[in-house]
Structure 1
Amino acid sequence: MDVSGDYLTDLVVGALGTVTVLRSRPVLNVSVTVLFNPWQIPFEAYQCQPAKWSNQPFGNATACFQMRRLVSDNWGVLKANITYSLLLDAGRHKWRAVFKTLSRSLTISQLLLTGKKMCQQFPIILPSCVKDYLEPIDLSLNFSLAGEVITGSKGLSPILNKYKETSEKYKLPFQKDCGMDECVDYLRVVFNFSGGDLAVIGRDTVLILTVVLENAHEDSSHTQLNFLHPSQLSFRKISNVQPSSDQIVCSDLLTDQLMERGNLSCAVNHPVFRKASRVTFNAEFDISSSEREEEIMNFTITASSGNSLRITNESSLTRNLSLRYAVNIATSGIEYTRHVNFTAGSKDLRLVKHSYQVENLGPRSLPIHVKVVVPARIGTHSLWNVTVSERHPGNHSVCQPSVHRLAVVQSESPKLPQDYVRLDCGIALCMEMLCEVAALEKHSSVIFDIQGELMSAALTELNQNKLLLVSKVSLSYDEDKYVDISEDAAHYREATIITQVDIFKAVNRLGMILGGTFGGLILLIIIIIVFYKLGFFKRNGKAGEGDRVEMTASNGGEGSSTG
C-alpha cells in the first residue's frame, strides 16, 4: 500500500488498536558547480601593479546548486534550506586571495526548490603582490541540507542522499608567463671568493662567497642552489649584498666529518624565481683548522629547478681556492762570547761561541731551513775552525756540508762600538751551512751552537786593531705552502751575533833597554859639555893655584927670621 504517494510501498504495523505507518522520506540529490570568470588569474593581476588592481576584484566565482529527487513522487515541488561555506586558500597560513568582504571565508544560506537552479556570484580580490603563483588558489566548498515539511504530508520532509559528497574543492590557476608551452628556465650561476683566490688556514676564520644567480629565460619553479664544499668548512649564514625582498633559505645537509665534501642547499625565492630576475648574496662559512695540508679546495655551485624543460649551459660553476697555512717562526741570539783579545804576531787561540734559538710560536709543525753564515777565511789564512751543532737533537735536523763563497761587498751598516770594523762577508770569505729541520713541532724550539777557536794569524792581515766578528742565522720555509703571520716576519726570521775582537801590538823590551841606555849616555855628555861651557871646571883650577902660592909664601917668611 502506497500511503505517502511516492510510488513506494509503505509499511503499516498495528496492534491493540494502534496503527503505525512507516513511510519513506523523499530523498534529494544536490549537484554543485563552481565556475571562475576568468578561468585563470590574469598575469597583470598578480604582477604587483597596485595602480590598476589595488582592492579591485580581478574576477568572480559563481556557485550554482540544483536539487533533484532521487525517486519520483507526487509531492510536487520540494523545498530545502542549504547552508554552504566557501574558503579561499585552505591550508595556508598566509592566503593569497579574499572575497569582497576582505575575508577569505563566507557562509551562505539559501532556499532550494526541486527543478530550479540557484546561482550566486562572489567577487575575488588579490590584496597584495603574489609571489607564489606556481600553485593555483584552492576554493573549498562545504554544504549541508535541511528539508522543509511537505504541505499536506503530515510532517513528512525530504532528506539529502547520504551518499552525496558534501565537500568540494575547486582550483583557480594563475596565468603563466610561458607562452603556449611549459616554462623553460635558464639559470646562470657566477660566484667568487671575496678575499681573492687565496685563504690562509690559521689566519682567516671566515670564508665569504659572493654568489649571483640569474634567470635569463622563463619562470623557474622551486629554484635550488646546491653548494658542494670541503668538509673543513661549516655554513654560518646568508646575507644580502644590498637591501632586497629576495628570500633565500639554506640548510646545511648532514655531513660526516670524515667525508671529504659537505653539502649546502639553498631555496631561492620559492616557489617561483621569475624570469629576468637576478639575486646577489653572500654565503659565509667558518674555516676550521685541519691537520691535513691540502694545496687547494674546490667549490661547486649548481642551480636546479622543478621545471621539466631547462637550459643548463651555465647552471653549474666550479672554482678553486688556493690554500696556505699560517705559521709563526723566529730566531734570536741567546748566548755568545762578548769579547776576546789578541797580541799581534802571537799564535794565540781564543774560543768563540755563538748560540741561536729557533722557535715555532705557531699552532702547526712545519719543516724549516736554517742557514748559518760565518766569516771563515781571510786571504790564505783560516779565521777559525768553526763547527755547528744542535742542542736538541729530537727535532732531527740535518746540516749539509759547508760551502764557501767569495766575499761580497755589502751595504754599509752602522758600527756598534765606534771605530770598529765589521768582520763579515764584506771583507772575508764566508762559509754557509744549511741545516734542515724535518718538522719543528708547534710551540717548541731548537738551539744551534756555532763555536770554534779564533786564530790571530788571520786577523793580523787586516791591519786593524778593533774588529767585530759577525755571524748570521736566517730561516726559510716553503713559501708556496706557508705564510708567516707575525707583524714583522722578515725581522724575526734573521738574527746576528757580534763578538768584539781587540788586537794589541807586541812590546819589544830589548829595544827599549838599549834605547834608554844610549839616550842616558847622550844626556850625560850633553850635561858635561854644558858645565864645561859655563866654566865650572875652570873655577875649580884657579882656586887650587891660589892655595899653593899662599902656602909657599908662608914657608919663606919663616926662614928669614931664623937666618
Structure 2
Amino acid sequence: MERLMPDNWGILQANITYRLQLDKGRQHGRAVFQRLSRSLTSNLQLRTGRKRCQEFPIRLPSCVMDYFEPIDLSLNFTLAGEVIPDSKGLRPILNEYTETSQTYKLLFQMDCGLDNKCEDYLRICFNFSGGDMVVIGRATVLIATVVLENAHEDSSNTQLNFLHPSYFSFKKISMVQESSVQIVCSDQQNDRLMASGSLRCAVNPPVFKKGSRVMFNTVFDITATGIEETSANFTITATSENSVRIKNESSYTRSMLLRYAVNVAASGIEYTRHLNFTAGHQEERLVKHSYQVENLAPRSLPIRVKLTFPTRIGDKSLWNVTVTQGTPGNRSICQPLAQRLAAVQSETVREAQDYVRLDCGIALCTELLCEVAVLEEHGVVIFHLKGELMSAAIAELKVKKLLLISKVSLSYDGEKYVDISEVTAPFKEVTLETEVEVMEEVNRLPMIIGGSIGGLLLLIVLIIVFYKFGFFKRNNNTDEADKLNMNGSDGGEGTSTEPEILPD
C-alpha cells in the first residue's frame, strides 16, 4: 500500500477483503483451490511501505478435456482503512480510479521435457471419401477425411493450412471420432483466403498436447460450372510456433481426378417405315432416316456422331444417301471413314430366305464421323439421311422381304466426361429400320381369257333358264291375241263400239 500524496501521518494501515474465483461463468470448472472449491475468500492487513504476497495452489483434475482456452482467475476486493492516530478520525481510502475487479488468464504450461525446448512431430494424412475421382455435376460436395497427430512433445499454436482449387469452397468441419481436440476454422481472414483456394484452421489452441490424435472430415462445396480441368491437387500442411520441429510428415499432397456429368441421348424422330418393289422391274424409292442428338445436361461438351448406313450390294448401288443437318445451331463437320466391307457375300444369302436384315453384315456400308465442336447445354442437333433406294441391288439378294438399317453412334472424351444416365457405357447407339417388300409381278392374260369364257358361259346359262321358265313363250301368246282382236273388227261378229242411247 502506497500513498498518492505525501503527508505527515506516519504509517497508514488498512484491511483488504478479497475473493478469488476460477473459470467464472463456466458450468464445469477445470481447476479448483486446495479445498476443492472454485472460489476462495480471505482477508489481508496492509500497511504503507510494505508489500505482502500470498500463494494459493491451484489443482487440476487428472484429465482436463478442454485446453482450448486459458483458465480465467477473477479477483474482487474491498478496502477498509484503519483510523489514523491523532487525526481526529481520518482513515486511508482507495483512489477512486482503482479497479476493484481484475481477471487474469492462466495459460496451460507446455510439456517440453527436461531441456524445456518443445520439439513437436506433427504427422498428417488424408483421403477423399468415394475415392480419388469426383464427378462434377453428380456430386455436390467433396469430403476429405484428415488424420492429424502429434507424435512428440507439446505443439504451440498448431495450425492446418489447406491449399486447394478455388472451385472447392470450404463448408464445415465434422469430427469422425469423439475427441477432446478442437479444430477451429472460423478465423475472419478465411473469407479472403478461401477466394484464392486457401484455408487456415487452428488445432486446439494454445497447445496441441503430445500424443494427441484427431480425425475429422473437411467438407467442401463443389462449383458445378466454369470448370474444365481433369485433375486437382489438395495439400494440407501442419505448422506450429515451436522453435524446434520434426517436419518429415507435416505436409501431405493428394491428387484427384475430375470428371464431368453429361447426359447425351440419340433418338430416331422420322423415317420411312415401309415401301415395296415389283420383282423384275428397275425401280427407285425415296427413303429418309432422321436422327436427333440432344444434350440433356446443363453442361456443354464436344461430341462425335458416327452415321453408318449401307450403300452397295456387290457392284450395284443400293442407297445413294445424302446427309444434311436440320438445326441452325450446333453445326458439325462430317468426314467419311473407311468403308466397311460386308461380312457375308450376297451370294451366300439363301435364295429361299424370306427375311434379311440389310446392314453391314451383307452390304458395303459407309461411315461418316461428324464432329460437333460444342453441343450446348440442352442443345439439339438433327441429321437427315435421304436418298433413292435401288431395286437392282435388292434383286441380288433374291428375297421377298428385308429391313434397311441405318445406325447412329455417340461418343465423347471418356477421360473427361461421364454419362450419368448409363455410367458403364461410353457411347449410345440408335438404329432405324425401313421394311422393304419385293412383290412378284402378276400375269393378267390368263385372267382375261378365263374371265371372257366365264362370262360367255354365264350368258348361255341365263338364256336357257329364261327359256325354261317361259320367258320367251309369254311373249308369243301376247302377239297371237293381238292378231285375233284385229281380225274381229274387220267383218265378223263382234261388239259394237257405238255408244248406247237411253230413252228419256
TM-score bracket, normalised by the shorter chain, equals 0.7 to 0.9
Q: Distance in 2 between matches of 1:357 and 1:204?
A: 29
Deviation for aligned residue 1:129: 3.4
SS at match of 2:339: strand
State the Cα deviation string for residues 390-429 of structure 1 (Å, max 9, x = none): 01142121111353111236xxxxxxxx952111111111
Match of 1:254 among 160, 172, 191: 191
Q: Look up the match of 1:546.
A: none
SS at match of 1:386: strand
Structure 1 pair 112–226 and aligned structure 2 pair: CA distance change class (3 A): closer
State the AA in 2 paired with 1:355. Answer: S
8 Å Cα contact 2:354-2:399 kept in structure 1:
no
Match of 1:85 among 18, 21, 25: 18
Aligned residues: 430
Mapped pair 1:212 → 2:147:
yes
Q: Look up the match of 1:177.
A: 111
Q: Look up the match of 1:241.
A: 176
Trace 1:368-383 onto structure 2 (pairs within 5 A): 368-383=303-318
8 Å Cα contact 1:83-1:107 kept in structure 2:
no
Q: Give 1 or 2 for the bigger CA radius of gyration.
A: 1
Deviation for aligned residue 1:262: 2.1
Q: Look up the match of 1:364.
A: 299
Deviation for aligned residue 1:81: 3.9
State the AA in 2 paired with 1:24. Answer: N
Q: Superposition RMSD on alpha carbons, in Å?
A: 3.7
8 Å Cα contact 1:339-1:501 kept in structure 2:
yes
Trace 1:309-458 onto structure 2 (pairs within 5 A): 309-401=244-336, 403-408=338-343, 419-458=354-393
Deviation for aligned residue 1:243: 2.8
Q: Look up the match of 1:471.
A: 406
Q: Look up the match of 2:58.
A: 124
Structure 1 pair 111–352 and aligned structure 2 pair: CA distance change class (3 A): closer
Mapped pair 1:106 → 2:40:
yes
Q: Distance in 2 between matches of 1:219 and 1:121?
A: 27
8 Å Cα contact 2:67-2:108 kept in structure 1:
no
Quick one: percent identity of the two aligned structures? 59
8 Å Cα contact 2:266-2:430 kept in structure 1:
yes
Q: Distance in 1 between matches of 2:124 and 2:303?
A: 42
Q: Look up the match of 1:300.
A: 235
8 Å Cα contact 2:168-2:223 kept in structure 1:
yes
Q: Distance in 1 between matches of 2:106 and 2:330?
A: 77
Q: Distance in 1 between matches of 2:277 and 2:241?
A: 91
Mapped pair 1:24 → 2:5:
no
State the AA in 1 paired with 2:67. Answer: D
Mapped pair 1:480 → 2:464:
no
Q: Look up the match of 2:138.
A: 203
8 Å Cα contact 1:26-1:157 kept in structure 2:
no
Structure 1 pair 141–448 and aligned structure 2 pair: CA distance change class (3 A): same
8 Å Cα contact 2:72-2:103 kept in structure 1:
no
Unaligned runs of 5+ in 2: 1-6, 345-352, 451-504
TM-score by length of 2: 0.75
Trace 1:139-288 onto structure 2 (pairs within 5 A): 144=79, 146-150=81-85, 153=86, 155=88, 159=92, 176-179=110-113, 180-251=115-186, 253-255=190-192, 261-288=196-223
Structure 1 pair 354–161 and aligned structure 2 pair: CA distance change class (3 A): closer
Indicate the larger mover: 261-270 or 218-227.
261-270
TM-score by length of 1: 0.68
